[in-house]
């Protein structure tokens, strides 16, 4: 038996704690730092996500995890000049794996603060340099260049967690866990998410272009490793809004939709032209931008406060300006980890530019959901695959 002692479990009072493999060696190596219980939950879930994304799309993939759900996930689709500015990489020629990471981190930068990162491909020096400058707890990848590993070992005063995953590892078909002294056992969720699950399209709109199919696959695979109920909005090869762990699906759709809206609002001229002082750090910029686009905490821009962040007082980002900008958000893909029970989910999705949907189907109100899609010209595929994850 191969085992690794941990400082504690989910909380400091949960001691002792360890991870172990009954069937041989652990499938990962600790190259730097000391892993925690939640670190490893994030690492092993996020690794599965990025490896499946790479298999499904053929593109390098990355994920940003927090509390055993992704804050972002992406594949290596080149960035537009606007996104380069939004993601703080203007004028930088990015490697494919760095592009995937920058996109994954950029989906919801506030939620990614202190994340655990997964990379489907070897971590290069450029990606390591971006990791070094962000607030992050650790990374898992199949390999690291010598230069990348040296960079990462300098992060967090030498304590940054670096895990190397064995890409050839395949777990046993049955998995088990214990809850309150009771053992649970089930077949691993090894269902393959491929374009074959996007062939049944009962809506009037039938066309789902190649880019949207890629985004739907990305969203579905992301949901496979997101705590349920879960909904994911995706565009241009990345998640732009992930809702996790909601008891009501429409609340999940609203939560993820609001995140998608905020992602797009960050690309508006009002936000891009915010007059930040040069000495304001990226996390503080992220927080200020979130306040600016949501309108929460206007005291930040009160007299005597804005000078800490800006060279001049920003103009008000009015609800009218926001609504006008959000009308430009188009061709968004949306996936759900189970069926939509009511058309209200579609109504909310349409407000965030959703044109393509993938969901399991099987609700007694599927006809109502299809009718709602037809109302907005949305093409919807019924996958017949449920992706609950707990």
**Which residues are bridge partners to 231 per DSSP?**
243, 336
pLDDT of 24 reads 81
Three-state DSSP class for 154?
coil
First to last CA, the chain: 26
- Whether pLDDT at 323 is above 90: yes
Which of 97, 91, 93 lies closest to 74, judged by CA? 97
Rounded to whole angstroms, the Cα distance separating 89 from 36 reads 31
CATH topology for 192-265+326-382 is Cytidine Deaminase; domain 2 (3.40.140)
pLDDT at 268: 96
CB 73 within 8 A of CB 45: no
Asked if 381 and 330 touch (Cβ cutoff 8 Å), the reply is no
Domain spans in the chain, listed from the N-terminal domain onward: 2-165, 192-265+326-382, 276-316
Instruction: Give the residues across from 67 on adjacent strands.
Output: none
Cα distance between residue 263 and residue 258, in whole Å: 9
- Which active-site residues does the annotation give? 66-67, 229, 390
Cβ-contact 212, 333 below 8 angstroms: yes
Q: Which residues pair with 161 in a beta bridge?
A: 138
Q: Specify whether domain 2-165 bears CATH 3.30.70.260.
A: no
Look over the chain and give the mean of its residue pLDDT values, rounded to a whole number.
94
Do you find a cis peptide bond into 16, omega within 30 degrees of 0? yes
User: What is the CATH architecture assignment of 276-316?
Assistant: Orthogonal Bundle (1.10)
Give the model confidence (pLDDT) of 56-112 as tens digits: 999 999 999 999 999 999 999 999 999 999 999 998 999 999 999 999 999 998 899
CB 159 within 8 A of CB 27: no
- Quickly state the pLDDT bin for 287 (edges 50, 70, 90): confident
Alpha-carbon dihedral 169, 171, 172, 175, rounded to 10 degrees: 170
Query: Hey, do 192-265+326-382 and 276-316 end up sharing a CATH topology, with the first three levels equal?
Result: no
Which tokens sit at 20?
Answer: 């172990």
- Could you report the per-residue pLDDT of 338-355, keeping only the tens digit for each? 999 989 999 999 999 999
pTM of the entire predicted model? 0.95
Asked whether 322 and 316 are in contact (CB, 8 A), the reply is no
* pLDDT tops 80 at residue 304: no
Strands (E), the chain: 2-6, 17-21, 28-32, 61-66, 69-75, 115-119, 136-141, 161-165, 174-179, 182-187, 230-235, 238-244, 332-336, 354-359, 379-382
Q: Using one digit for the tens of pLDDT, what is the confidence trace for 205-254?
A: 999 999 999 999 999 999 999 999 999 999 999 999 999 999 999 999 99
Average pLDDT over residues 27-54: 97
If you average pLDDT over residues 280-292, what whole number do you get? 88
């Amino acid at each position: 038996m191969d085992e690794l002692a941990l400082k504690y479990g989910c909380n400091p009072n949960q001691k002792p704690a360890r991870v172990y493999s009954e069937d041989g060696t652990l499938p990962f190596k600790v190259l730097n730092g000391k892993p925690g219980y939640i670190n490893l939950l994030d690492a092993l879930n996020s690794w599965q996500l990025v490896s499946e994304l790479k298999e499904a799309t053929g593109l390098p993939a990355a994920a940003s995890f927090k509390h055993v759900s992704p804050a972002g996930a992406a594949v290596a689709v080149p960035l537009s000049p606007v996104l380069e500015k939004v993601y703080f990489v203007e004028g930088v020629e990015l490697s494919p794996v760095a592009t995937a990471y920058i996109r994954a981190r950029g989906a919801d930068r506030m939620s990614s603060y202190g994340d655990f990162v997964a990379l489907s491909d070897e971590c290069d020096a450029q990606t390591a340099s971006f990791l070094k400058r962000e607030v992050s707890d650790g990374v898992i990848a199949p390999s690291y260049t010598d230069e990348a590993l040296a960079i990462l070992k300098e992060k967090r005063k030498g304590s940054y967690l670096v895990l190397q995953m064995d890409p050839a590892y395949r777990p046993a078909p049955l998995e088990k866990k214990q809850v309150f002294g009771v053992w649970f056992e089930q077949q691993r969720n090894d269902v393959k998410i491929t374009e074959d699950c996007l062939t049944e399209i009962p809506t009037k709109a039938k066309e789902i272009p190649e880019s949207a199919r890629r985004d739907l696959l990305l969203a579905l695979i992301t949901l496979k490793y997101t705590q349920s109920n879960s909904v994911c909005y995706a565009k241009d090869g990345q998640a732009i809004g992930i809702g996790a762990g909601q008891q009501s699906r429409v609340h999940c759709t609203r939560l993820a939709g609001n995140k998608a809206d905020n992602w797009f609002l960050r690309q508006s001229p009002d936000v891009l032209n915010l007059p930040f002082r040069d000495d304001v750090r990226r996390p503080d910029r992220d927080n200020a931008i979130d306040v600016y686009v949501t309108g929460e905490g206007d005291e930040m821009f009160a007299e005597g406060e804005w000078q800490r962040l800006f060279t001049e007082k920003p103009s008000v980002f009015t609800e009218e300006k926001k609504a006008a900008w959000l009308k430009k958000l188009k061709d968004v893909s949306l996936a759900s980890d189970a069926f939509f029970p009511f058309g209200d989910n579609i109504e909310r999705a349409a407000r965030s530019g959703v044109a393509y949907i993938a969901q399991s189907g099987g609700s007694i109100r599927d006809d109502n959901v299809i009718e709602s899609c037809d109302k907005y010209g949305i093409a919807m595929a019924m996958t017949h695959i449920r992706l609950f994850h707990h």
